């Protein structure tokens, strides 16, 4: 058992709203951190690089939510 590995999907709250999957209405997600590379930042026409996004992956249908954070 490790504190750093949450294998159980959890509910996610974003700015006071519970995250609900738009595909399957599931409310449990895995949390992942993803490093954005230059290809992604240029795709979105953003002037930053090497930022980290937080991803919430639906535990049922695997739909991915991306949040760029602050």
What is the closest distance, in whole angstroms, from the C-beta atom of residue 58 to Zn ion in the complex?
3
**Cβ closer to Zn ion: 41 or 57?**
57
What is the closest distance, in whole angstroms, from the C-beta atom of residue 57 to Zn ion in the complex?
9
**Cβ closer to Zn ion: 14 or 24?**
24
**Cβ closer to Zn ion: 54 or 63?**
63
Cα 66 from Cα 28, distance rounded (Å): 15
Exposed/middle/buried for 28, CB within 10 Å: 0-12, 13-18, 19+?
middle
What is the closest distance, in whole angstroms, from the C-beta atom of residue 23 to Zn ion in the complex?
4
Task: Tell me which residues touch Zn ion (CB under 5 A).
Answer: 21, 23-24, 26, 58, 60-61, 63
Sheet holding 29-35, edge to edge: 29-35, 52-58, 64-67
Within 10 angstroms of residue 18's Cβ, the number of other Cβ atoms is 9
């Amino acid at each position: 058992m490790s504190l750093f590995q949450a294998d159980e999907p959890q509910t996610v709250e974003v700015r006071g709203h519970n995250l609900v999957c738009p595909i399957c209405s599931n409310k449990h997600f895995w949390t992942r951190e993803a490093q954005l590379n230059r290809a992604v930042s240029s795709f979105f026409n953003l002037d930053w690089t090497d930022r980290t996004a937080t991803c919430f992956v639906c535990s049922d249908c695997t739909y991915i939510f991306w949040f760029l954070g602050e």
